[in-house]
Homo-oligomer: A and B are copies of this chain.
Amino acid sequence: RKLDKSRQDRLYFDSYTDVTIHEEMIADHVRTNAYRTAILRNSESIRGKVVLDVGAGTGVLSVFCAQAGARKVYAVEACSIAEQAEKIVKQNSLEGTVEVVRGAVETVELPEMADVIVSEWMGYALLHESMLNSVLYARDRWLKPGGLLLPSRAELYIAPISDPVPEDRLHFWYTVKDQYGVDMSCMTDFARRCVRNSDITVSAVSGEDVLSHPARFAELDLRSVTAEELRSVRGKFRCESFGSAAVNAFCVFFTVTFPCSDGERPLLLSTSPFKPETHWKQAVLYLDAPVDVVQDTEVAGEKRQSKTFSIPDWSSEAQP
């Protein structure tokens, strides 16, 4: 009677996930192409320089940096996937350029300082189990003054949404009596409580369920932010409802920005529900009960984002 955690088609146990994680990251075209484009557009800053890749995984970003002309790339990776990175580097004949360094970036010793740090460190809703602390450590320890960070900025957004799934799932318990002759409608209370106690839900929010323009509530300048400041990222937000709906959740997502040395506009990697889906999807924080809004209702509050997630302190007010 052990069951799937969700309605997924396929459930993989144990070590099969080792490869699935990397497969899904590489297969995420939005993510991988954003990094590839950002690295190639910064080749002026990378050519002949030293790059540090923090949490290199399969080493694909390191290979991009080598292809952009780096003199040396240190691909630091603590997990056993580093062995695969070694093989990929060899298969691409880049042993002379990319050096896979097995270990945590907090403990490894590199022979030289880096001109550039590249890292794909973002977790769900940006900071959920993210590697950003390691990147900040690497920045302070191994990046030359004035060195380049890819990406260099992160922004957090929030928007009220009306997600049909929880109501559909709650409604299920009212249908049991018709199906099997047993009244199980009291389970809706339990189901509501489970939703309320859950940590974050990661799901692909449909653009049509988003009830306002997303509001930015926090911005991190990765060149200067400290680990201390990350412990309590917070900010105010204010949205105006597009129309009448029942708000039953907030969705939180992020963007990161890559500066571009080719003089063009900075490159944005967005996980907005209005943009093509990424493997990060969006984080959804459910309310205890839906709140009705009408057009132009102001939904405002303050969102704190730390190791744990919680719904923001917020209120809504219809405009006079």
Contact = CB atoms under 8 A, between A and B. Distances in A.
A12 B58 CA distance: 27
Contacts of A122: 1
Q: On chain A, which size bracket covers the interface?
A: 35 or more
A68 to B, nearest CB: 11
A179 B18 CA distance: 22
Interface stretch (A124-132, A151-159, A209-217, A245-253): A124-132
A175 to B, nearest CB: 9
A11 B203 contact: yes
A201 B19 CA distance: 14
A100 B283 CA distance: 38
B1 A121 contact: yes
Given A10-B201, A182-B63, A182-B64, A2 B124 contact: yes
Interface in A1-57: 1-27, 29, 32-33, 36, 55, 57
Contact of A21 (B3, B9, B22, B195): B3
A204 interface: yes
A18 B29 CA distance: 34
Interface in A51-109: 55, 57-58, 60, 63-64, 67, 84, 87-88, 91-92
24 contacts: A3-B20, A3-B21, A5-B11, A6-B11, A7-B9, A7-B10, A10-B203, A10-B204, A11-B202, A13-B198, A14-B197, A15-B197, A16-B201, A17-B194, A27-B172, A36-B181, A60-B184, A64-B180, A84-B190, A88-B184, A88-B186, A91-B183, A91-B184, A91-B186
A24 B7 contact: yes
A19 B91 contact: no
B169 A204 contact: no
A185 interface: yes
A12 B195 CA distance: 9
A91 B177 CA distance: 11
Interface in A228-249: none
A1 to B, nearest CB: 6
Given A6-B20, A10-B204, A67-B181, 12 more contacts: A1-B121, A9-B203, A11-B202, A13-B202, A15-B194, A19-B190, A19-B191, A22-B187, A26-B176, A87-B186, A88-B182, A88-B184
Contacts of A197: 14-16
A92 B182 contact: yes
A199 interface: yes
A21 B169 CA distance: 12
A176 B181 CA distance: 53
A90 to B, nearest CB: 8
Interface string A145-168: 000000000000000000001000
A223 interface: no
A120 interface: yes
A25 B10 contact: no
A290 interface: no
